[in-house]
Amino acid sequence: MSGSGSRIIVALDPPDDVNVVDWCLSIIGETRDLVAGYKIGLPLLVRLDSINELSLLARAMGDGLLRIVDLKLADIGDVMVSSIKPFIHYGFNYFIAHSFIGCRDGLGVLNSFLRENNAWLITVVSMSHRGSVEVMDSIVDRLLEVSVNVGAWGVVAPATRPEIIRFVRKHIGSRARILSPGIGPQGARPGDALMAGADYEIIGRMITRNSGPRHVVKEINKIHESLLGEG
Amino acid sequence: MSGSGSRIIVALDPPDDVNVVDWCLSIIGETRDLVAGYKIGLPLLVRLDSINELSLLARAMGDGLLRIVDLKLADIGDVMVSSIKPFIHYGFNYFIAHSFIGCRDGLGVLNSFLRENNAWLITVVSMSHRGSVEVMDSIVDRLLEVSVNVGAWGVVAPATRPEIIRFVRKHIGSRARILSPGIGPQGARPGDALMAGADYEIIGRMITRNSGPRHVVKEINKIHESLLGEG
């Protein structure tokens, strides 16, 4: 399976004892022809020596891949726009925000800014941890409605609860992609989310903490191909 | 009114065309003996030349004040903890996160880490923008329940909707402080939130974009004193 056909998004969550840029560049270098994209987040951002190191990461990923910034944005629109400007500047093009905050003066402002900059919005409608059932999972329908209203490119729903993925797919049809975290240490197996209706599986430690990331990516691509009948 | 008696938290949201550290240090220098604390967020963070500049800001604020980091955290517990470590290290001691992500493997993990580090959790139960009514404001009771269960030091509710502040105060009693943004350009007047039951008003542009921040802070303190009968 080529990179463009892969369903894997690699979450670049660095361990404690590394230079984060070198660590990311090494993983990217080993896997970029075999995956759909990469996701970076706050734990990486706060460990950069300088914000312009983002440029090195985006360039290493290359133009054809999803270059996702996962800050779980959940603020008023103007604040979210100010927060992502450097990431846009340095070449990232997909941004994850929470549906919870609503459209007006919120996601609507963010999405307009993204579209003007050839970038795309991905919204969270459910999460992989247990706390997600305390509030979010009981109002997934309303979070989906916000996501559809704002015109999100994709939504995030957890591989750890495939019934949520099925619910999301049923309600959004083909209007948005589904991206699923929670594979590996959090409990789901590669392929679980795809079989429930997801388009991409976001996989971190299972790939990045393995001594042979390229090998693991190939194995997971094979599992995906076999499950989807694309082998 | 001394700094310790003030109800003002200054939101340090820098304009586009400044060196953000110099700008913050100037505002802090002019106001720190007259306010309760300061709040920084993502738009400031992404414009630092280096993360260790946080140390300059925390030291300028000084030990007696609230040094609040407002990343609107809304991720799984381990990710939130990894994201705030540098802020703890450099001397910030209050952290804002969203109630809607729930306690288990979420806010519970974050709050345990904060308490081990002599830092405190503040949770968002409602926001100042119009999108807040689309989802959040209809489940404020549940968001409050999460906040109380996790033992939040304070909760955020908007000055723009005083009926929400009154509702929050009625339900949490004296178990948590209420901090209210939305004063100035967003529509509320200084004192509106305090009169509805808030403990602190978070004020940004009205102070920081004025040519005389110290003068404005004094004027707002006077309004607060007069309304609260502490004059």
Please provide the average confidence, as pLDDT, over all residues in chain A.
Answer: 95
| pLDDT over threshold 70, residue B8 | yes
List the beta bridge partners of residue A188.
Answer: A183
**Looking at residue A19, what is its pLDDT?**
96
Selecting among B39, B72, B85, B218, the annotated active-site residue is B72
B153 Cβ contact list (under 8 Å, min separation 6): B94, B120, B121, B122, B176, B177
Instruction: State how far the Cα of A18 lies from the Cα of B51, in Å rounded to an integer.
Output: 17
How does the average pLDDT of chain B come out, rounded?
Answer: 95
Express each pLDDT in A61-93 by its tens digit.
999 999 999 999 999 999 999 999 999 999 999
pLDDT at B4: 62
d(CA A64, CA B135): 36
Mind listing the pLDDT tens digit for each residue in A165-196?
999 999 999 999 999 999 988 889 999 999 99
Question: Which of B98, B106, B133 has its CB closest to that of A74?
Answer: B98
Chain A hits for B49, Cβ within 8 Å: 50-51
CB contact under 8 A, A98 and B74: yes
Select from A46, A50, A133 the Cβ nearest to the Cβ of B86. A46
Mean pLDDT of B5-21: 95
Segment B60-86 shows an average pLDDT of 97
Does the annotation count B72 as an active-site position? yes
Chain A residues whose CB is inside 8 A of the B87 CB are 46
Q: What is the mean pLDDT of residues B25-49?
A: 97
The CATH number for B141's domain is 3.20.20.70
Looking at the predicted structure, is the pLDDT value of residue B17 above 50?
yes
Q: How far is A100 from chain B, CA to nearest CA, in Å?
A: 6
Residue A202 reports pLDDT greater than 70: yes
Q: Which of B41, B85, B105 comes nearest A79 by C-beta?
A: B41
- The single-letter code of the amino acid at A10 is V
CB B58 within 8 A of CB B92: yes
Contact B121, B92 (CB under 8 A): no
Residue B166 has pLDDT above 80, yes or no: yes
A131/B49 CB distance under 8 A? no
- Chain B hits for A49, CB-CB cut-off 8 Å, are 50-51
Inter-chain CB proximity B129 and A106 less than 8 Å: yes
Q: What pLDDT shows up at residue A98? A: 98
Query: Between A and B, how many residue pairs show a Cβ–Cβ distance under 8 A?
Result: 163
A2: pLDDT strictly greater than 50:
no
| Over residues A12-39, mean pLDDT | 97
Inter-chain touch A135–B100, beta carbons under 8 Å: yes
Of B41, B49, B102, the CB nearest to A132: B102
Q: What is the mean pLDDT of residues B5-15?
A: 96
**Among candidate residues B109, B122, B45, the one with its CA nearest the CA of residue B75:** B109
Domain tally for chain A?
Answer: 1
Tell me: pLDDT of A3 over 60. no
What are the CA-CA distances from residue B107 to residues A4, A177, A229, B139 (Å)? 37, 28, 40, 18
Contact A134 B83 (CB under 8 A): no
Are B71 and B42 in contact by the 8 Å Cβ rule? The answer is yes
A18 touches chain B (CB under 8 A): no
Please report the pLDDT score of residue A186 as a whole number: 81
Residue B187 has what pLDDT?
87
**Judged by CB atoms within 8 Å, which residues 91-110 of A form the interface with B?**
98-108
| Average pLDDT score over residue span B108-114 | 98
pLDDT at B106 over 80: yes
Whether B80 and B60 have beta carbons less than 8 Å apart is answered as no
Chain B residues within 8 A of A127 when measuring between CB atoms? 75-76, 101, 106
Answer whether residue A127 shows pLDDT above 50.
yes
**Facing residue for B103 by CB, picked from A50, A77, A134:** A134
With bands split at pLDDT 50, 70 and 90, how would you rate the model's confidence at B230? low
Complex ipTM value: 0.96
Domain interval for residue A155: 3-228
The pLDDT value recorded for residue B186 is 81
Instruction: Collect contacts of A167-171 with beta carbons under 8 A, ≥24 apart.
Output: A167/A140, A168/A125, A168/A126, A168/A140, A168/A144, A168/A197, A169/A196, A169/A197, A169/A198, A170/A197, A171/A141, A171/A144
Whether residue B221 contacts residue B33, with contact meaning beta carbons closer than 8 Å, is answered with no
What does the pLDDT read at residue B3?
A: 54
Give pLDDT, residue B2: 45
Distances (CA, A) of A12 to A8, A58, A201, B161, B199: 12, 12, 14, 40, 40
Q: Which pLDDT belongs to residue A1? A: 44
B67 has pLDDT over 70: yes
pLDDT at B13: 92
Interface residue A77 vs chain B (CB under 8 A): yes
B215, pLDDT greater than 70: yes
| Nearest residue in chain B measured CA to CA from A74 | B72
Distance of CA B73 to the CA centre of its chain: 13
Catalytic residue among A72, A85, A170, A222: A72
Share of chain A above pLDDT 90, in %: 93
What per-residue confidence (pLDDT) applies to A4? 62
Contact yes or no for A135 and B142 at CB 8 A: yes
Query: Residue A211: which pLDDT band, with cuts at 50, 70 and 90?
Result: very high
Nearest-neighbour CA in chain B from A2: distance (Å): 31
- Cβ within 8 Å of B, A 172-211: none
